[in-house]
Chain A
Amino acid sequence: MVDQNAAPASQATGAGVVPMNMIQALNSAIDVKMAEDANVLSFGEDAGYFGGVFRVTDKLQQKHGLTRSFDAPISECGIVAAAIGMGAYGLRPVVEIQFADYIYPAYDQIVSEAAKMRYRSGGQFTSPITVRSPYGGGIFGGQTHSQSPESLFTHIAGLKVVIPSNPYDAKGLLTAAIEDDDPVVFFEPKRLYNGPFDGWHEKPVSPWKAQDLAQVPTGKYVEPIGKARVMREGNDVTILAYGTMVWVALAGSEHAGVDAEVIDLRSLVPLDIEAIEASVNKTGRCVIVHEAPKTSGFGGELSALVQERCFYSLEAPIARVTGWDTPYPHAFEWEYFPGPQRVADALKSVMTGGR
């Protein structure tokens, strides 16, 4: 089912390839970079000794020392601001915001400071920081542990926004983010940390290790930021998705029995516009799926871009499948979280509602 686009293991510099879940892959990315470059350090709330509430920074302190992986005060603004200062000094800090819902206290530092540093100083100062944060729903986290704030950052000039959907990309993209000379906001779909959740919450989920994209080189490799991945080739309709929704899109197209081309955007800024154009021009139809609320979500931007660039190829109106414009509800999580059924419905309407 999944298109085999994963780079061969030989591309990696290290020795082995082992199955990893997303947590292990992300941990490995930071670990390998810390081993390679003394300027890389990692901190955040509970991120040091304990290794983070999701264990993404597990054992980094034991391996690399107290001053390289440490706990931070519960001060998101302070964490990001300190990282900015470190970045200006020449370090490459990777900071964790425990949940994306808590990135708002740091918003000013990310938006007004990190994003603008290179520009406002005429290139004298840069902000090569990575702000990692678990985001998205599907874990019964309620309003304050489920949000998808990516569009608030894609609107900001100077920021890159990266969202992986599988262990292989998670490691390669996080490595690229750490090496990037610009500030990167790196959202980790926490629903995917332990398995490729396809949105059928009542059906069993296969573990990561059964997936090709969970075969992760233990050594260093880089997945370039700004390149989408075709997860499934298809001819009838293009589905644009990222994060957990990539797996929901795959399940939804299977459920609908539609030959959909599923594109995992992987990075929203920079965006792989060529891959989007090529696919929509081929299929003539487009469905966009994201977890964030619909209004002013990134789907609106994608829809406008497709309309601007592929209008004459389109056979049907573009459809969006998104979270609702409500706060994230605890008891109604499965009504809120866009699932395969809603994707299938959208696919069917796009397939039949054409000209």
Chain B
Amino acid sequence: MNKKNSQPLSLRVPEPSGRPGDTPDFSHLQMDPAGVVERPEVGSTPYQMRDLAFRLIRVLDDEGAAVGPWNPRLDPETMRRGLKAMILTRAFDDRMHRAHRQGKTSFYMKCTGEEAIAVAQGMILSREDMGFPTYRQQGLLIARGYPLVAMMNQIYSNAEDPIKGRQLPIMYSAKDYGFFTISGNLGTQVPQAVGWAMASAYKGDDKIAISWIGDGATAEGDFHNALTFASVYRAPVILNVVNNQWAISSFQGIAGGLETTFASKAIGYGLPALRVDGNDFLAVWAATQWAEERARSNQGATVIELFTYRGAPHSTSDDPSRYRPGDEHEKWPLGDPIERLRQHLTVIGEWDDERHAAALKDAVEQVRAAGKESEAIGTLGQSRPSVKTMFEEVYATEDWRLIEQRREVGV
């Protein structure tokens, strides 16, 4: 007998729209058609443009035409370069994923379906600017022509690994390419990017920073600390949230994506927010350019949510068929970034099937040639940097402990 006159409470745990065996359902997504979202002046106040945190900036329509105020009007050559870099990124991912299956490395992470993001943004910003990436921005290095062999050497931790066998595969570090050293701790790079940008502003330089974080990791305190600092000190930084719908097995609702958009997190900090179709190369380009102009003209940071889908498993240790509908990626309503840019270039007469086939072949060739070269140096365990390097660069100079311990190992 319940004598209480109060109602029993119940706990809500968010659930995704589909689980294995279900038909993918994207009916809950509200997506603006291409071309309809206004493009505010770069100097607009966050308040004036609040609406954009909940809309979706898109340029490429279903027919492959570039439409609306966000059309960046890129010249065909730039678009072709972007397309080729995306193709090369995918070919690289495919080969390295296979290399893992063949036991040549311990680990790999693909960015399938998200290539437009790092490629476009890597092309827009200069190498003097600093990118603070996660593990899914390999496209940035590839778009900037970082040697594929060096990437593979890192993945294999072989004798030529530029960072001396010290990091998990794919945790690259390439200062000269504007690519900050990747941390395995999610989110830590975002407030560091803000600090880097603050330093540039402090010095009166003209460099800006750009960072990326996944939808899942926005729940980390680092992300919120970064927004506070970026807003308070008006840091010249672009803060991207790559909403690829999944954080390993947790859908984006677990990080708060059911209640509001990730872009809208910026509003509480007084920062401008753009929400962008992340599979639309031209939309990513345009939004990033907007944020870049804002940062370079000393008007501070912009938060960009890039709405996309992680097509591949989270990593080589993951099996997504255990937590999401198997064909969810194919049904993704925003399509594939490579196919969409290809369609556009084809429609405007700057590309055709033959050129596409040639680009695919060329990418596979480049990857194969680099693979051969890197594997000749050695795959994981076959060759590695000198063990001596294990004790180096812990400090600027070795202290007695490390000297003694190195001697104990006999190197």
Contacts and interface: CB of A to CB of B under 8 A. Distances in A.
A78 B175 contact: no
Given A86-B196, A112-B183, A119 B202 contact: no
A89 B196 contact: yes
A117 interface: yes
B13 interface: no
Interface string A138-158: 000000000000000000011
B165 to A, nearest CB: 9
Contact of A121 (B175, B191, B199): B175
Contacts of A113: 183, 185, 188, 192
Interface stretch (B29-37, B137-145, B395-403): B395-403
Given A78-B225, A181-B396, A270-B399, A121 B198 contact: no
Given A67-B202, A85-B191, A270-B400, A122 B163 contact: yes
B271 interface: no
Nearest to A77: B225
Contact of A182 (B197, B221, B228, B396): B396
B164 A85 contact: no
Most buried by B among A122, A124, A126: A122
B199 A90 contact: yes
Given A125-B180, A157-B394, A85 B195 contact: yes
A72 B396 CA distance: 29
Interface in B163-180: 163-164, 166-167, 171, 173-175, 180
B332 to A, nearest CB: 34
B40 to A, nearest CB: 27
A254 interface: no
Contacts of A157: 394
A123 interface: yes
Nearest to A129: B195
B174 A124 contact: yes
Contact of B180 (A88, A108, A270): A88
A120 B175 CA distance: 12
B166 A120 contact: yes
Given A73-B232, A85-B195, A122 B400 contact: no
B229 to A, nearest CB: 5
A78 B202 contact: no
A119 B393 contact: yes
B226 interface: yes
Assign chain B's interface to a size class: 35 or more
Given A113-B192, A120-B166, A81 B225 contact: yes
Contacts of A86: 195-196, 198-199, 202
A120 B167 contact: yes
Interface in B148-171: 162-164, 166-167, 171
A105 B130 CA distance: 26
B211 to A, nearest CB: 10
Interface string B185-212: 1001011111111111011000001000
Contacts of B132: 85
A83 interface: yes
A304 to B, nearest CB: 12
A126 B164 CA distance: 16
A127 B325 CA distance: 44
B250 interface: no
A90 B207 CA distance: 13
Interface in B303-317: none
A305 B206 CA distance: 51
Interface in A92-139: 93, 105, 108-109, 112-113, 116-126
Contact of A77 (B183, B191, B399): B191
Interface string A168-197: 000000000000111000000000000000
Contacts of A118: 393-396
B226 A78 contact: yes
Interface in B381-411: 393-396, 399-401
B222 interface: yes
B299 interface: no
Most buried by B among A77, A82, A109, A124: A82
A73 B228 contact: yes
12 contacts: A73-B229, A78-B194, A82-B229, A84-B195, A86-B199, A105-B221, A109-B188, A120-B181, A124-B173, A180-B396, A269-B399, A270-B400
Given A78-B225, A85-B199, A157-B394, 11 more contacts: A68-B202, A75-B225, A81-B222, A88-B192, A108-B185, A109-B191, A113-B185, A119-B394, A121-B163, A158-B395, A270-B400
Interface of B: 130, 132, 162-164, 166-167, 171, 173-175, 180-181, 183, 185, 188, 190-200, 202-203, 209, 221-222, 225-226, 228-229, 232, 393-396, 399-401
Closest 8 CB pairs of A and B: A85-B195, A82-B195, A78-B225, A81-B191, A89-B199, A122-B163, A121-B181, A85-B196
Interface of A: 41, 67-68, 72-73, 75, 77-78, 81-91, 93, 105, 108-109, 112-113, 116-126, 157-158, 160, 180-182, 226, 269-271, 273
